[in-house]
């Protein structure tokens, strides 16, 4: 079970992901979380830097979908200006939203990556289906109420995994 919490890759931000390397691996689709993955959880719209990153994804031919546990108003207000499809109230780490994302993008698991900032939602959900998972450092240092609890649990799990030598990256 604990292995399902370990991402395939850990980076500081989405901007540190080698998109060309993903393309060479055969990746065609990107499932990404929104809050504290792409922007701060309380930022209503994309930053200019993120808009450039999304444009780069599209130029490289990636299909992209936002899969978020947040509500429709939050996710649609963010996704629509970018022209990105989305799934709101995804109930991650349940599998249905990940399967729906594959269906919408018309990609297979082995050609799709999951990007997120939380072990218990994004990484666990992606790993349960066998996606290549990428954990990013949260964009903001503060969180909503439920996420604060998740972060506390994540720190405990990461500490234990680090002691067992199961974490392949440095903080």
pTM over 0.85: yes
Task: Give domain 2-163's CATH superfamily.
Answer: HAD superfamily/HAD-like (3.40.50.1000)
For residues 29-56, one letter each, b for 16 or more C-beta atoms within 10 angstroms of the residue's C-beta and e for the rest, the string is: bbbbbbbbbbbebebeebeeebeebbee
Average pLDDT estimate for 151-161: 76
The predicted-structure confidence for 84-114, as pLDDT tens digits, reads as follows: 999 999 999 999 999 999 999 999 999 999 9
Delimit the domains of the chain by residue range: 2-163
pLDDT at 147 over 80: no
Helix (H) and strand (E) counts for the chain?
A: 6, 6
**Residue 72, both tokens:** 């429709």
Cβ distance 112 to 102 under 8 Å?
A: yes
Q: What's the token pair of residue 138?
A: 């949260």
Which pLDDT score, from 0 to 100, does residue 1 have?
A: 63
Torsions phi, psi of 42, nearest 5?
Answer: -110, 10
């Amino acid at each position: 079970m604990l292995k399902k919490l370990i991402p395939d890759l850990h980076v500081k931000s989405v901007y540190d992901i080698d998109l060309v390397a993903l393309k060479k691996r055969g990746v065609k689709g990107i499932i990404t979380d929104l809050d504290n993955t792409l922007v701060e959880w309380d930022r209503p719209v994309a930053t200019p830097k993120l808009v450039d990153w999304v444009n780069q994804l599209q130029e490289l031919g990636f299909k992209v979908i936002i899969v978020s546990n947040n509500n429709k108003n939050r996710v649609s207000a963010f996704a629509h200006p970018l022209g990105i499809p989305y799934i709101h109230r995804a109930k991650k780490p349940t599998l249905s939203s990940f399967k729906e994302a594959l269906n919408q993008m018309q990609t297979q698991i082995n050609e799709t990556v999951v990007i997120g900032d939380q072990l218990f939602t994004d990484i666990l959900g992606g790993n349960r289906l066998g996606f290549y998972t990428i954990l990013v450092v949260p964009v903001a240092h503060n969180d909503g109420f439920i996420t604060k609890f998740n972060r506390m649990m994540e720190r405990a799990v990461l500490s234990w995994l680090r002691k067992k030598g199961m974490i392949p990256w440095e903080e």
